[in-house]
Structure 1
């Protein structure tokens, strides 16, 4: 299979220009840039070429919308990239949005071989999916610790963009701990290595060809093209998610019992703060680790484990991949004064419902009493404070700001009544909410 490699050598060119009077071979001994003496060029090929065979193209197939019969073949609905992390077991990591909606999956290797793949599991909150193929002679990527990355490190994106064969692009790490794209589990690596449609699910590599992240999204000024802002899920999160999927078939996350929302300009003014980055504690569940740590409503978490907190997703990214019993150092503001505490992580119950004094968490959403100004003239008393990406409530279409009208046809006028209604054995759960002047019916499948 033809391999198209795009490699920017601007860094090397600038350095060579500045050292034109020095023999290249002699200068190579004093510079960290890898030098191929036989060809007389600077190149990262030696480290990267070991990884390129492990980068694959993933094709997702689904049933066509036309006339169907038992003999109707599944048709391609999307393509993306992936990377083999375990050659012995044929384990491939890609993005959830690459395989979403598919009924069959195929994997193309760089050597031209084609395999049918089995979907092991997915995690929408981190946009990670795990596939498996059965084959011999597979290559696998070496995984690096993403916590060792520094802004300015070289980074290489590999994938199958825009219908091209395997393509390599180069850039730098533009930023770390990026969040703010939502309230999901977010702790992205930002890079300016060119990432386009088709790169999704492919690896982000360091200059030695080691995996540091899974390319998942881009910010584009229009048209969906590359504008030099791309995001990757770091290996720290990827390894936890993949391990959970391989072991349990799904991802179970840690919890502290704190109901959080993202700090914004409005809530910052209400709290008398002059910052807009942080996670606001809206409530703590009775008997929870957050309560034991002394956290209270209106505390604003600004750092967890020395990681800056941009929003609620930043906290979820750390708590959600911490082993049960882990102790997390938390820095927070109370009445504008910085304080510190240690919170113990407990394993959250699948589909658990936690009722606090002033708020309720259930199936990935937080609810609280609505203020008069939030009701829009309606009598509905409960409002959705926050919805965690990839959770059952997010899948159902619930969004922050929704006013709860009823659950399974019954009014929910208090947090206790809502907790009881959501805890019913009746499945699926029918939610009716009031949103932007109209009533919306949702179906929740816990």
Structure 2
């Protein structure tokens, strides 16, 4: 078997060697046009993407986050570096840098290092935990910026380039392909990731994912690793479609306000699919519909399984949240759903973000981004909206609410009555332990 593989490998190399002159001759005549088969530098006699990428590289920066010193013996109170990552300048005139929330989290001061050796203090404009994005601003002249393009135009198989400062190295460029689109399933956050096999490691967080012409298509945010923490060829980036909405909101009002439709959603999984008698394991289950909401007006019911939204496949509740969450109020959103095995369609109108009041459905209570219903274990959370007050408090789907402000909660009516205006202290049972969280008002 090995011998056969080696022989095939040798033949492919010979074929490639024979083809190179033909490729070179063809590409040499089209070296300056993006329509050429492979970018070719006739002067050096090499195939290269450098001409398209080099213009973007000066706009990729290293972000260092400084936090309070914990060294009592030194007597120093100056902030010390606690984390570092990468970032992308998307507005050179204003000095706007996009990076990850987890790169700047917990920081008191921030610095930005440029490829020309200059270093500047930066100000944090805002963060969005639900998408793991953050915006910094610094004042400098002679800056470059990266052109941003619509990630909805991407196709699986497109070339992709990750740029950043991994593992303590200087600026590093790696190449791969778009391995998949619309990836989610790592929770019910705002998830609609680009997956790539371009090498991404610790330190790449917040750096840009570029197309073959050096244009920004996403911000690298996480990897899946086999246990060693290194690159295994599975990395995820927040697409520019979501990125630019979040950045605009943070720059304009300092926070992200997301629309809603009144549909309370959970994620479909294998167990629930069997309960519904379905032959699919991807989708978002309508757990309940808020009275008087757009979802109710559109005819959605408890038990419907949303499979497509805006003609995009739905992996889980996070996919729907990603689409609704970046839509302006008044936007009409088309959904396809299954009801008792039959396909249906509905048009939802995105509503302006509501206040944190409690919404009580027939079998569900929703407040501040948490959705709860009764189960054999008690009053249990089945969904926590990404970016909500409930998510910020650390609440998780599966938590069983035992008390609110030290008053025991045994049913939905009790929970709805307890979650009035103001801040509340919740005790929840998570697995075998009790956890206390503070839910903002």
Q: TM-score range by the shorter chain?
A: over 0.9
Aligned counterpart, 1:443 = 438
Q: Which segment is superposed worse, 323-332 or 267-276?
A: 267-276
* Alignment deviations for residues 412-439 of structure 1 (CA, whole Å, 9 cap, x no partner): 33323322322233x2x11012232443
State the number of aligned residues: 424
**1:211 matches 2:216:** yes
**1:414 matches 2:401:** no
1:122 Cα deviation from its structure 2 partner:
0.2
Normalising by the residue count of structure 1, what TM-score does the alignment of the two structures yield? Answer: 0.91
1:144 Cα deviation from its structure 2 partner:
0.6
Aligned residue for 1:255, secondary structure, equals coil
**Where does the alignment leave 5 or more consecutive residues of structure 2 unmatched?**
1-12, 31-35
RMSD between aligned residues? 1.8
Q: For 2:15 and 2:90, how far apart are their aligned partners in 1?
A: 35
Q: For 1:109 and 1:23, how far apart are their aligned partners in 2?
A: 37
Aligned counterpart, 2:8 = none
Q: For 1:338 and 1:241, how far apart are their aligned partners in 2?
A: 33
* Map 1:2-13 → 2, pairs under 5 A: none
* Alignment deviations for residues 327-362 of structure 1 (CA, whole Å, 9 cap, x no partner): 111000000111111011012225343222211222
CA, structure 1 residues 32+107, in 2 after alignment: closer, same or farther (shift >3 Å)?
A: same
Q: For 1:156 and 1:90, how far apart are their aligned partners in 2?
A: 23
Aligned counterpart, 1:39 = 44
Q: For 2:394 and 2:262, how far apart are their aligned partners in 1?
A: 24
**1:130 matches 2:135:** yes
Q: For 2:160 and 2:214, how far apart are their aligned partners in 1?
A: 9
Q: Which segment is superposed worse, 280-289 or 66-75?
A: 66-75
Aligned residue for 2:22, secondary structure, equals coil
Aligned counterpart, 1:181 = 186
Aligned residue for 1:22, secondary structure, equals helix
Instruction: Check conservation: 2:56, 2:215, Cα contact below 8 A.
Output: yes
Aligned residue for 2:58, secondary structure, equals helix
* Alignment deviations for residues 16-75 of structure 1 (CA, whole Å, 9 cap, x no partner): 535145372335447421111111111111111111000000000001212289852111
Normalising by the residue count of structure 2, what TM-score does the alignment of the two structures yield? Answer: 0.92
Aligned counterpart, 1:8 = none
Q: Which segment is superposed worse, 393-402 or 301-310?
A: 393-402
1:404 is aligned, of 401, 404, 407, to 401
**1:192 matches 2:197:** yes
1:330 is aligned, of 316, 321, 335, to 335
* Alignment deviations for residues 208-239 of structure 1 (CA, whole Å, 9 cap, x no partner): 00000000000000111000000000000000
Aligned residue for 1:384, secondary structure, equals strand
Q: For 1:97 and 1:328, how far apart are their aligned partners in 2?
A: 31
Q: For 2:51 and 2:395, how far apart are their aligned partners in 1?
A: 49
Instruction: Check conservation: 2:27, 2:38, Cα contact below 8 A.
Output: no
